[in-house]
Chains A and B, each alone.
Chain A
Amino acid sequence: MNIIHFFRIRRLTRLADGLLPDSELTPEESAYIAENRRLRTLLQQAFEEDTYPASVPEEQFLREWRQRQAQIRDAGKDSVLPPVRNFRYLWAAASLAAAALLVLFALVYLLSPGGQPVKAGPAVKHHPDMEQIDPKSRETTSSPDQGVPGRDL
């Protein structure tokens, strides 16, 4: 579309919508305006009689409107989402939560020593250093229930 045609379209459209003064029009422009006025009349007439096909009792409409209002009040938001959308949001939230859990498990696995799962270590062998444990500290750590004279266990 060349620039002249572009501006011509704009001018004709504005003329057809009565947005430009219709003085000094070319015969072609006058004809265009007349045709579009006629088209507008036809369209308005055709759609004026095009009404909602079922009869809707006032109370039925109002009842549902009140229900929707109550739903919004309960949900605390300003638009009612159809169930299919609610389900979609739930599904998205569940997927995100599952993905987050997977990432968490992967991190735990990778950060564990050597990248291996933690296993029970080998049995503790007897070590000579263990002999040097202060007998006093052993006393303090021992259970008070053990070896108390006269205590009936």
Chain B
Amino acid sequence: MCVERTLSDRENLSDADLVQAAQQGQHEAFETLVRRHYQMVLNTTWRYLRNQEDAWDAAQETFIKAQTALGQFKDSGHPDGFRAWLVRIAANKSLDLIRRKTRHPEVPVNLWDNGEEALPIPGPQSTEREVHLRDINSVIRQCMEQLPPDLRITLMLREINQFSYEDIAEATGVPVGTVMSRLYNARKKMRALLKQKGVSDFNL
């Protein structure tokens, strides 16, 4: 039985139900998924690309890719399964864009070099600890920027997006052994940089 659902009905459905409906050809179901996750996808692409236009493009392409590949999505039963799948596509789309820009340098490359130097301005309600935390977070991101791109991307895929070694290898086009050595080196360098900035002693 085909039941027409209103927007608010669809908003209450789980990702898995919406994916199932979209796989059966209900276009509106996929649109609800876009509404639900676009901000998260934008944040993911932003973290890799550090450029608003590029992050926007990569986020758009993520949903285009997700829709065309929706038939390949296997529901693992985990409530965040679709979300994790989207993050993987978003990270891969971001890496595609980075590679495209590296191959064609006539397009201005603007990765990790915009405005991050300035520390965020604390709001009037910020407590001393919040301000301190923001400063620390900013310093950590600045340290990440100082890593060579290969190490930075590998570390982000692993620590921020929880990619497996095999998935990182596939996304970056290197063998698993190289992924492991890059991770080792990235962590070593990050620890050294943080120590240099005095962050390693920060008590969580």
Interface residues of A in 40-56 (CB under 8 A from B): 40-47, 49-54, 56
The answer for the CA separation of A78 and B71 in the assembled complex, in Å, is: 14
Contacts of B60 in A (CB 8 A): 61, 64-65, 68, 80
Interface size on B, residues (CB 8 A): 50
B141 pairs with A56, CB closer than 8 A: no
CA distance A140 to B191 in the complex (A): 104
Contacts of A40 in B (CB 8 A): 159
Q: Shortest distance in angstroms between B147's beta carbon and chain A's nearest beta carbon?
A: 11
* A52–B52 CB distance below 8 A: yes
**Which residues 147-204 of B sit at the A interface, judged by CB distance below 8 A?**
155-156, 158-160, 165, 177, 180-181, 183-184, 187, 190-191, 194, 199, 202, 204
Q: CA separation between A56 and B60, bound complex, in Å?
A: 13
Is B184's CB under 8 angstroms from A84's CB?
A: no
Given A39-B191, A41-B204, A65-B60: A78 touches B68 (CB 8 Å cut-off): yes
CB-based contact B47/A47 at 8 Å: yes
Task: Give the interface size bracket for A toward B.
Answer: 35 or more
B202 to chain A, nearest CB (A): 8
B131 interface residue (CB < 8 Å to A): no
The answer to whether A12 and B160 touch (CB under 8 A), given A52-B52, A58-B35, is no
Are A13's CB and B180's CB within 8 A? yes
Convert B125-144 into 0s and 1s, putting 1 for each residue whose CB lies closer than 8 angstroms to a CB of A.
Answer: 00000000110111011001
Residue of A nearest to B138 (CB): A46
Q: List 14 A-B contacts (CB under 8 A).
A: A17-B158, A17-B165, A38-B204, A39-B190, A39-B191, A43-B144, A44-B160, A45-B140, A47-B141, A49-B137, A50-B46, A52-B39, A52-B46, A65-B34
